[in-house]
Amino acid sequence: MPKRKSPNAKKLVQSTLQFKSAATVVKCSKCLMTYSTNSPSDLVQHKRYHDLHLNGRKWSAGWGDIVSRVELRMFEKQLDCNGTGETGNRKLSFQLRPQSTYEENEYIVMISPKKPNEVKATLDLMAVVNEELSAPHDENAFWSEFPEPEKPQGKAFVYVKKNRAVGVITIEHIEKTDRGKWMVLDTKSIVPNVIPDVKLGISRIWVSRNHRKHGIATRLLEIARKKSIYGCIVNKWELAWSQPSQSGSILARRYNAVKHQSGKLLLPCYI
Ligand SMILES: CC(C)(COP(=O)(O)OP(=O)(O)OC[C@H]1O[C@@H](n2cnc3c(N)ncnc32)[C@H](O)[C@@H]1OP(=O)(O)O)[C@@H](O)C(=O)NCCC(=O)NCCS
Ligand SMILES: [Zn+2]
């Protein structure tokens, strides 16, 4: 016979202990990604994003045609000549390096639209670049697709270091001369009624975070000037910027700003 409940019996409620977890959304100070430390998929995504943004994309040796090798640092080269170097009164001796005057495993390649693997790898890299710049993701056709006959082709150059693509520049050919403008660097205003005859436009330039401020972007700009148009070296002022970012403006100021007679610095730009 079942026990009858006494009307005065207290209703028992199962209690559960709730542990409030600490705040889970964090912003990585290195790659600046915001993610949740409680979400396994966020953790995986952050790991991938972090590595790509800091160290670049893995790059196969056969991708791209090498257009430039990076010379050994000047100081090391001088020492290589005689194996000694003087610092003040101290005479130091150094081991001779091998004959080559180039950095091993550090070079710039030009991407061929005919080669799907290198195009795909560069498109992967461009996705990272556009994410960081909050720029449109669909502006690659000018370098990645095979050109129509008679139409000038844009170019993509990738900086490879230790089997990683650590920098990239994409360059548009500017056919219509009236696309060129001078921009006042400090105010970002456009100088009216003057149209510089620029030849190339920098669509994107990017260097992975761990490799910045080592001259990589400057080398990419130099190669773009020399190798974008077959047989022609474009002047620095003919290489134009489009809406330079904050760090892009610093680079542009150093690389190809021109001083106007008013004392203001002007940047070649295109629209
Ligand atoms: C802009 C960017 C490409 C520069 O790459 P980089 O390889 O570091 O540039 P470099 O080392 O060739 O720098 C050239 C000069 O500019 C200076 N410079 C470049 N970026 C700088 C920055 N953020 N702050 C201070 N100086 C900077 C360098 O110190 C160097 O000066 P120096 O010649 O007196 O030594 C890189 O910061 C980047 O990828 N930024 C994010 C993407 C972006 O904004 N791209 C530009 C779009 S317009
Ligand atoms: Zn990170």
Which residues sit opposite 85 in a β-bridge? 92
CA of 217 to the centre of ligand 1 (A): 7
Nearest CA to ligand 1 atom 33: 254
Minimal CA–CA distance to 221: which of 208, 242, 204? 204
Q: Which superfamily does CATH assign the domain made up of 58-70+105-270 to?
A: Gcn5-related N-acetyltransferase (GNAT) (3.40.630.30)
pLDDT at 20: 55
pLDDT at 15: 57
DSSP assignments along 30-64, one per residue? TT--EEETT-HHHHHHHHHHHHHHHH-EE--TTSS
Helix axes 216-227, 246-256, angle to 10 degrees: 60
Residue 249 φ then ψ, to 5°: -65, -35
Tell me the pLDDT of the chain (271 aa) as tens digits: 444 444 454 555 565 555 555 658 999 999 999 999 999 999 999 999 999 999 999 999 999 999 999 876 644 444 444 444 444 444 444 444 455 577 778 999 999 999 999 999 999 999 999 999 999 999 999 999 987 777 778 999 999 999 999 999 999 999 777 899 999 999 999 999 999 999 999 999 999 999 999 999 999 999 999 999 999 999 999 999 998 999 999 999 999 999 999 999 999 999 9
pLDDT at 147: 76
Residue 6 structure tokens:
């006494």
Under 8 Å between Cβ of 142 and 204: no
Under 8 Å between Cβ of 123 and 156: no
pLDDT at 77: 45
CA of 119 to the centre of ligand 2 (A): 26
CA of 247 to the centre of ligand 2 (A): 20
pLDDT in tens, 179-196: 999 999 999 999 999 999
pLDDT in tens, 43-93: 999 999 999 999 999 999 999 999 999 876 644 444 444 444 444 444 444
Q: Is 32 left (phi over 0), alpha (psi -120 to 50) or beta?
A: left
Distance, CA of 98 to CA of 81 (rounded, Å): 11
pLDDT at 10: 53
Ligand 1 mutation pick, 213, 241, 269, max ligand atoms within 8 A of CB: 213
Q: What is each CA distance from 132 to 31, 52, 172, 184, 219, in whole angstroms?
A: 10, 11, 20, 25, 21
Domain boundaries, the chain: 25-55, 58-70+105-270
Minimal CA–CA distance to 184: which of 268, 270, 271? 268
User: In 3-state terms, what secondary structure has residue 93?
Assistant: strand
User: In 3-state terms, what secondary structure has residue 77?
Assistant: helix
Under 8 Å between Cβ of 147 and 108: no
Which atom of ligand 1 is closest in space to residue 246's alpha carbon?
Answer: 44
User: In 3-state terms, what secondary structure has residue 24?
Assistant: coil
